[in-house]
Amino acid sequence: MAKFKYRMQNILELKEKLESQQKIAFSLAMAKVREEEDKLRQLLLRRGEYEKRLKEAEEGILDLKEIAHLKTAISTMKTLIRDQMFAIKKANEALEAERRKLDDLMKDRKTHEKLREKAFDEFLKEVSYEDMKVTDEFTGFKYSKR
């Protein structure tokens, strides 16, 4: 029996390899988003601590230097938080770009897999036709011999 050989198998393998590389790039972009979000959480916690210390400083014995320092620190934290939100937005945009690339590569791979399936179905039809032809010839030869 004949063996099926897909003539564009090397292209399909290349598409699969590109897709796996893109999956890695996508996961790295997702990790970057998570990292940026963690940085934001840490900044929010630090700002919360500064606000708590400011509230305590305003309630106890007034230390104007400490209050001014804490207000400056809170202002700085707000700026850092705003900058971090921009960094998260940028990381999310990069993640979305990687997602679109991955989707495109997955579509290409699936298209080539469908083409391979169609070629295999055509191969099976040809093999079946050849088997029927051989069977018909054999049967015809057998009856003509009688």
Q: Taking 80 as the threshold, does the pLDDT of residue 143 lie above it? A: no
Q: State pLDDT tens for residues 41-53.
A: 999 999 999 999 9
Q: What is the rounded average pLDDT for all residues in the chain?
A: 92
pTM of the shown model: 0.76
Q: State pLDDT tens for residues 73-121.
A: 999 999 999 999 999 999 999 999 999 999 999 999 999 999 999 999 9
H/E run at residue 9:
helix 9-59
Q: Taking 70 as the threshold, does the pLDDT of residue 1 lie above it? A: no
Residues with Cβ < 8 Å from 54, sequence gap 6 or more?
67, 70, 71, 74
